[in-house]
Amino acid sequence: MDREAALVALGQALAAEDYHFVTPTPTTHAVVNARPGNEWAHSLTDIFGWSRPFRPGVMPPAIMALAKTAGILALDGESHRSTVRFSTLDGLLFAHSAHPTTAADAVFFGPDTYRFASAIMALPPADVRRAVDIGAGAGPGALVVARTYPGAEVLAVDINAEALRLTRVNAALNGLTVTAAYSNLLRDAIGPYDLIVSNPPYLVDPGGRAYRHGGGPLGAELSLAILDAAWHALAPGGTLLLYTGSAIVNGHDPFQIAALAQLSGSACVQYREIDPDVFGEELAGGAYVIADRIAAVVLTVRKIGG
């Protein structure tokens, strides 16, 4: 059994144990783990959800064997730690990077993921034959699309090899057909598409981590690049759903202004804040000292005509 197959089997074993875990923000994660008594894992949720170190005998032998074969156990003295977390989302199970997500190729999953998936599930019914998730990460957008539109050809693209690996794992784990492929935006993924979804990084990250850094003065550069690429790849009548964040400055939304100015041709556009205040800790310094707040927003664009 190779590592990917072992990771799929591990996820299946956890599902058989009725495993559930909703991934919180990194700040919440750190606070909960710092509480007295949470220094060590005592359950599968502690190991694969809260990313706590565990001592011998805590993990059932069959699951331990799968974790070893999957190559996800880091040894620290006499204890182990899983380098992969598993999270549940609306009946689906996803493998992604363990806390803390400090590595350059870390694959993010958290509250933004849940909001992104909810926005996709709230789309009105449509005839979707081809769809793509840009910057797919662990594949939640692509998998929700595949489940919502059975029979559609669904592509998940990313520049992170680890993200593509985990998307393949998660598609197999959930019994859904999704093709994971390398592409920088849509340069290697030719349209047209009836549905394009994306949840790109939208913060200014001093470390430039791919899963977090959106580029530009306030983190919107990648979101605007995705909007441009998606507009040209949409089929007539096709829809783009872009879940991102926007730094609000003096009561104004620079991303909304730039996005609407960037659209060319005929489009039906909806823009809404779905959470007015996320990542408030970022306002303490750096690029966001000029910002009032960072809002989570959803931009939905339906292309009219050619």
- Identity of residue 289: V
Q: What is the pLDDT of residue 68?
A: 96
155-166 pLDDT per residue, tens: 999 999 999 999
Q: Is the pLDDT of residue 294 over 70?
A: yes
Q: Is residue 269's pLDDT more than 70?
A: yes
- Measured CA to CA, the distance from residue 127 to residue 279 in angstroms comes to 36
Check residue 111 and give its pLDDT. Answer: 97
CB atoms inside a 10 Å sphere around CB 137: 32
Per-residue model confidence as pLDDT tens digits over 198-256: 999 999 888 777 778 888 999 999 999 999 999 999 999 999 999 999 999 999 999 99
Please tell me the pTM assigned to this model.
0.95
More confident residue, 84 or 203: 84
pLDDT value of residue 285: 87
The amino acid sitting at 232 is H
Give the pLDDT of residue 209.
76
At residue 193 the predicted structure's pLDDT band, cuts being 50, 70 and 90, is very high
Q: How far apart are CA 240 and CA 200, in angstroms?
A: 13
* Average pLDDT score, the chain: 95
Q: Nearest-CA neighbor of 60 among 74, 78, 41?
A: 41
* Residue 264 vs residue 18, higher pLDDT: 18
Sign of the CA dihedral with 143 first, then 144, 148, and 153 last:
negative
Structural domains of the chain, ranges and CATH numbers in brackets? 3-97 (no CATH), 111-303 (3.40.50.150)
CB 223 within 8 A of CB 242: yes
What's the burial of 142, exposed, middle or buried (CB within 10 Å: 0-12/13-18/19+)?
buried
pLDDT, one tens digit per residue, over 26-62 is 999 999 999 999 999 999 999 999 999 999 999 999 9
